[in-house]
Amino acid sequence: MSTDKTFSMIKPMAVKKGYIGPILSKITEGGFQIVGMKYTQLSKEQAEEFYGVHKGRPFFESLVTFMSSGPIVALALKKENAVSDFRTLIGATNPAEAAEGTIRRMFAETIDANAVHGSDSDENAQIETSFFFSQRELHNVDLIDAKQYTVCEKS
């Protein structure tokens, strides 16, 4: 049975290009609720640990160098069928192969700087979320319809 949680990171190049806002909009418009969010930078050692599963692959060194080159946004996300739906929303790993309208197609150019990371399984979503967040940094909010709540009436 799939859980309703996934993990994502907005990668350094997308942050540098000013895409945090537009990418977060695509994520929430896609029906995902943000339950944890952190603006931070990975050390080289932390990037090596996070991507440890890829150690030994030809792209590992450049991936680690890139991922520790600037700030990232770590995101804990919630939605029914989260892992699979999020991977559909972001598109193929290589932006050149990503479908029209996906986040990677819209905001990325290269396979390393592919704008966002998305967990590939429920198990990894859990591991990756706890890499960045403690339990008290995750907040489950029942969203309300903003149109029903007028904060300030015009006089």
Q: Hey, which residues between 81 and 120 contact ligand CMP (CB under 6 A)?
A: 93, 111-112, 114, 117-118
Residue 99 CB: number of other CB atoms within 10 A? Answer: 11
Residue among 117, 119, 125, 128 flagged as catalytic: 117
Shortest distance in whole angstroms from residue 1 CB to ligand CMP: 24
* Closer residue to ligand CMP, CB minimum distance, 3 or 93: 93
Q: Which is nearer to ligand CMP, 27 or 146 (CB)?
A: 27
Q: Taking the complex as a whole, how short is the minimal distance between the CB of residue 67 and ligand CMP, in angstroms? A: 8
| 54 in catalytic set | no
How far is it, in rounded angstroms, from Cα 54 to Cα 3? 24
Q: State yes or no: residue 63 binds ligand CMP (CB under 6 A).
A: yes
Q: How many residues bind ligand CMP (CB under 6 A)?
A: 9
Query: Distance (Å, rounded) from C-alpha 83 to C-alpha 5?
Result: 7
| One of 25, 28, 39, 59 touching ligand CMP (CB under 6 A) | 59
Per DSSP bridges, beta strands 72-78 and 5-10 are: antiparallel
Q: Are 111 and 93 in contact (CB under 8 A)?
A: yes
Q: How far is the CB of 50 from ligand CMP (least distance, A)?
A: 9
The residue assigned the tokens 């995902």 is 32
Spatial CB neighbours of 68, under 8 Å, sequence gap ≥ 6? 41, 42, 43, 44, 46, 47
Measured CA to CA, the distance from residue 70 to residue 32 in angstroms comes to 25
Interface residues toward ligand CMP, by CB under 6 A: 54, 59, 63, 93, 111-112, 114, 117-118
Please list the active-site residues: 117
